[in-house]
Amino acid sequence: MEIYRNEQGEITCDALDSDTTVSDLVHAVLRFCHAHVDCTTCTETCCSGLTVYPDHVFLKNLLSILHHTICDQDLADLPWRIMRFDEVMRKWFLIQKADGSCKFLSQKGRCLLYEARPLVCRMHVCGTIEPVFKKMKNDIYSAYQNALGLEMERILNGGMLQAMKGPGTVNPLSLMDTYEVRVADILDWTRKGMFI
């Protein structure tokens, strides 16, 4: 799996094989960025003025990392301290500083949550994205963000996820806690309308 610039200069990826995982895609983005993007000369940050929509794997990773450093009550309160719900978009987002940058950027613009960063941050790449690749990325983000919504609903209901009404409404990602999920499966679930 490789990310590259096509003849039009747009960023895109190789055709996916059936075993390509979201994690494979993340690693391909990292390889592309290390080879073709010089962040040291950039005057902006990836998170400046952008709303960061997290996902359930990010939340689980962050809670796991912090589990040994903060008390159980602070750990339980953490999702409500770092995220807000956008009623219009119907998505959770990471809180921002007054200047619109991500709350978790250092004064030098470095990510303070880098090891646990959300999928949208892991797959961010500067430049014009080829439309088909952009749609694929957005479908993947939406699937993981939907799983976060289900996780937050579970937390709000005291650990119990209420039964969803109707067939085809359960997000299979909500049962998984990694990015080691086949992209083809996510795109298939998206086509079948498995995400609310």
Of 135, 158, 124, which Cα lies nearest the Cα of 52? 124
Higher pLDDT, 152 or 37: 152
Predicted confidence band at 45 (pLDDT cuts at 50, 70, 90)? Answer: low
Residue 110 has pLDDT above 50, yes or no: yes
Q: Which residue has the tokens 């996510």?
A: 186
Q: What pLDDT does residue 49 have?
A: 66
Domain annotation covers residue 110: yes
Residue 79 has pLDDT above 50, yes or no: yes
Lowest mean pLDDT segment, chosen from 15-19, 97-101, 165-169:
165-169
Q: What pLDDT does residue 106 have?
A: 84
Q: CB neighbours of 50 closer than 8 A, spacing ≥ 6?
A: 102
Domain annotation covers residue 196: no
Residue 193 has pLDDT above 90, yes or no: no
Q: Per residue in 81-92, pLDDT tens?
A: 899 998 898 899
Query: Which residues form the domain of 79?
Result: 3-191
Domain annotation covers residue 71: yes
Q: What pLDDT does residue 156 have?
A: 80
Task: Pick left, alpha or beta for residue 158 (phi over 0 → left; psi -120 to 50 → alpha; otherwise beta).
Answer: left
Residue 15 has pLDDT above 70, yes or no: yes
Domain annotation covers residue 160: yes
For 38-75, the DSSP string reads -GGG-SS-TTBT------HHHHHHHHHHHTTTS-HHHH
> Tokens for 1?
């799996």
Residue 196 has pLDDT above 70, yes or no: no
Of 186, 166, 167, which Cα lies nearest the Cα of 55? 186
| Mean pLDDT of the residues in the chain | 85
The three-state secondary structure class of 96 is strand
Domain annotation covers residue 147: yes
Of 93, 91, 75, which Cα lies nearest the Cα of 83? 93
The answer to whether 154 touches 177, Cβ cutoff 8 Å, is no
Structural domain count, the chain: 1
Distances (CA, A) of 43 to 46, 128, 129: 10, 18, 21
Q: Please report, rounded to a whole number, the percentage of residues in the chain having pLDDT higher than 90.
A: 44
Domain annotation covers residue 93: yes
